[in-house]
Structure 1
Amino acid sequence: MKVTEKTKISELIKHSPETIEVIASVNSHFNKLRNPILRKLLASRVTLKEAAKIGKCELSVLIEKLKPLGFEFEIDMYEDSSNEKINEVIPNQIFDSLDVRPILNQGQDPFQMIMSKVNILPLGKTLEIISPFQPIPLIRILEQKNHTCICNEKEGIFSLFITKNSNEGLENNVLEKKIINKIDSFDEFQNKISTFEKENKLERLDVRGLEMPLPMVTILEKLEYMPKEFALFVHHFQIPQFLLPELEKRNFFMDYFIVEEKEIHLLIYN
């Protein structure tokens, strides 16, 4: 297989599953590849060149590690040009900036605020999102709307530059079909839970003490191994907006009941 700096990690893994352990062995930053859920979220999005940045290592190190697996590399090892690409965007196109770190530190989901910012962004202008991690689910949603996303990392802080290319389909509801249902009655919600519980087909999970993005990752990991006819009852601190497109893709539905502020009960099933 011929490999360039733009080859996705998922393509390398598909060609040779040993790629997972080879890359993970480079340093601890790549350990997330061993997690099947994180791997699915990251590998299809991240290129070999981007992986080197995320892992804080030279691209040449990854290449040398991967060569024994039989890959043929066609890569120009000159200086990384991604910063030049970002510098082209910043001077005349940056319209607004949003630092989501304080929002995340308060245990809140910045999704609606980000989408509202994108909604009012003029065509051709760029919104900068500052985050403590690479917001892969957000990037996936925005790229599906045909917007341009460039992500840069410096000293553990990620800057995502979103350039608006279209006004079409920018409503906050990013789902193609209705998979989420609000239940206002506690008794009705409990009855739905009981339906699965009586048949011993209910699993439970509490993600209230986890930092972002671990709640979503933990839920997806649980669903990955849950039998098809089972349901997952989740104690959450919010309605997980980033999770919804991932549930839709996996053909899951979600009912929710708001107990009080920062306490939401979710029931996920297919």
Structure 2
Amino acid sequence: MVLEADLHEALRTLAATPRLLVALDFDGTLAPLVPRAEDARALPASAEAVRALAGLPDTTTALISGRALASLRTVAEPPADTMLIGSHGAETWTGPDGAPLALTPEQEDLLARAVDVIEQVVAAHEGTRIEFKPAGVVLHTRTAADDVADSAVSAARAELARFEGLSVTDGKRVLEISVITADKGQGLALLREAAGATAVLFAGDDVTDEHAQRTLGPDDVGIRIGPGDTAASFTVATPEDLTEVLQELVALRSSGARS
């Protein structure tokens, strides 16, 4: 892919900012989507670009994902000082002094009820899978037939509607349920403040990433990977195309673009 002139110019301007935050979704962004979430891995060239950015002065890298933090660390293998947002903002890691996520007894009870619903849905719908998170549970339907997936999501939503206090969000062949109301926009705001960033690059591929895209200002650069309505200023087709964007940013940030 040859970068469009307006995207290249936006990256050049971004590279000159005093303190840069590069915050990236993982699945579908750094890593191609795969049927089994545990098999996902970042494209090697994208992972190398993130490591290069993390090593540059006045540059902070972050991953902001729907995955639980433990899962994100396993599949992404981020640089040691990369900040992490997991579970769509419910889990955060901005350094070793951060407090771990803790649920109230009421939230623990609500989560147990939600888990019971999804376990029953998975048992009744072939090809669906369950994922457990510290503050939520996920119904995965990527390996189910389309009609089965639709039926599973409908059944889950109907049962979950009986409980107050749940956040239920659709993603790409997933239904995310959380007992904490949080989104990637809130997560990105936290990262921006923690990094003291004067500008941000954010890239993501899913509807859940649009919460973050909508927080971006005129000095920031938002990139959507793949088709779909988006608040991002720019769109690229594939994670492989994003690799080129990240490599170009490394080159610009490493060169006289900041001078």
Q: TM-score range by the shorter chain?
A: under 0.3
What is the TM-score with the length of structure 1 in the denominator? 0.23
Greater RCO between the two (CA within 8 Å, min separation 6)? 2
Q: State the structure with more CA Rg.
A: 1
TM-score by length of 2: 0.23
